[in-house]
Structure 1
């Protein structure tokens, strides 16, 4: 998984999660399964809903509360993001100290 964060004019931030290796997000808003969980230090520190990504493709997803999501990424040196995919079920992606986000507002 890659996370792309960018500043968008007056809207503030945009956070997009992009899966690789042919994976696709399995969640949808009809049954409220369109979320990822964020863990740090062994505890769940956030649960963020998402909407379909670029051109409605299921290999990417935009976080619906990007400011809180990015704050969560900034706060912890090491974290894990748990997402449900069509092909592999629940996957956990690990991230260590996302330096690019430190100090940016």
Structure 2
């Protein structure tokens, strides 16, 4: 029995986050993580890094007794994706899953 574990390089995770926000506009944290196939405990540092560098912005809104966290891509994030992340993926394409390779 073999366990398959999908792995994405952090650069592709960053690109997925920026593209998903560009596609959907502002998204709450739960939706963004779900759409990108991420886990908050494992990937919170990536979100924080993107925010610190100005590629995404985070807002918090009251929601009952809690607060809803939302993210949106910035113009700087769009430019970073276009000028850096997209060319990187052209030169170093993602590895395909075995099911995609077989057809």
TM-score by structure 1 length?
0.32
Max radius of gyration: which structure? 2
Q: RCO (CA 8 Å, sep 6+): is it higher in 1 or 2?
A: 2
Q: Which has the higher strand share?
A: 1
TM-score by structure 2 length?
0.33
